[in-house]
Amino acid sequence: MTWREGLPRPRGRLLFDEPLAPLTWLRAGGRAEVLFLPADEDDLAGMLAALPVEVPVTVLGVGSNLIVRDGGVDGLVVRLGGRAFGEIEVEPEVSRVVAGAAVLDAALARAAAAAGVGGLEFYAGIPGTVGGALTMNAGCYGGETGDWLVVAWGVDRAGQRRVFTLADFAYGYRHSQVSPDILWTGAVFQGRPGKQLDIEASMAAITRRRETTQPIREKTGGSTFKNPPGHSAWRLVDEAGWRGKAWGGAMFSPLHANFLINTGQATAADLEDLGEAVRADVQSKFGVTLEWEIKRIGRRQ
């Protein structure tokens, strides 16, 4: 009997050999050996506890900052969604927000604004989920997750519920010290008192800036590379001559040189190979190493 045949029957959904490209913003890549959509945290914990230790586990959020390689992803791929992981509770009297890991960052910002909770408006400019924001200290326009996080919780690979305070993360630039094996399920953010109209005006300004400077209506993965110390990734890509230059079905956007886009029928290999070609060229020309901000998972064909 294979590990797939021995899986327990969850209350959520188990899908075998499921295409993952439709679940990513770049719309490219292979299949999940098994895709698991848990009903709630207990369902998730039970599956992880029963899963053989040698089976890899991969978390898939909203797929906004991700390349799924064409050979697919071995093991169990977990995608959180639905009511159990998508609820937001605002406590305006203390300017706090409790959010599930599947909550969209922009939805978190809107809920906080509606309750007069400020500080979280930068999330209006991040195309991801709370779970992803926790993992990578997501931020933009002067704000980062680590500026506002109080506590977060999730389930580890053994199916045990774990709780982490802000200090446990030891956040750096797009980096956390917490084990990547934690599957986040929720978090608490401490905002500050504000006026709804002022907060919404700030969010509208962020949205306008995104619309005029980023290819948000393209098949894109967001920022491709982290900004190296003392440099802007987009400027290095641009000065190396890669803005708008096609590579198979992939390209770095003519609008923003740090945004990798699928121009139509790009494979995951097109996207990743273009990124690696740009990294090598920037290293050769400027002596600067670009690090991927987009996460890449799975096997190459």
Buried b (16+ CB within 10 A) or exposed e, 141-166: eebbbbbbbeebbbbebebeebebeb
- Enumerate domains of the chain plus CATH numbers: 13-82 (3.30.43.10), 86-199 (3.30.465.10), 217-297 (3.90.78.10)
Among the listed residues 113, 87, 122, the one whose alpha carbon sits nearest the alpha carbon of residue 102? 87
Structure tokens at 63: 């797929």
Does residue 293 have an active-site annotation? Answer: yes
Return phi, psi of residue 13, to 5°: -115, 140
pTM: predicted TM-score of the whole model, two decimal places: 0.93
Does residue 223 have an active-site annotation? Answer: yes
- β 57-60/73-79 pair status: parallel
| pLDDT tens for the chain, residues 1 to 301 | 799 999 999 999 999 999 999 999 999 999 999 999 999 999 999 999 999 999 999 999 999 999 999 999 999 999 999 899 999 999 999 999 999 999 999 999 999 999 999 999 999 999 999 999 999 999 999 999 999 999 999 999 999 999 999 999 999 999 999 999 999 999 999 999 999 999 999 999 999 999 999 999 999 999 999 999 999 999 999 999 999 999 999 999 999 999 999 999 999 999 999 999 999 999 999 999 999 999 999 999 8
Does residue 210 have an active-site annotation? Answer: no
Which residue among 174, 200, 232, 239 is the active-site one?
174
Which residue among 64, 95, 223, 253 is the active-site one?
223
| Cα–chain center distance at 218 | 17
Q: What gap in Å lies between CA 184 and CA 151, rounded to an integer? A: 11
Q: What gap in Å lies between CA 96 and CA 40, rounded to an integer? A: 23
Q: What gap in Å lies between CA 12 and CA 42, rounded to an integer? A: 11
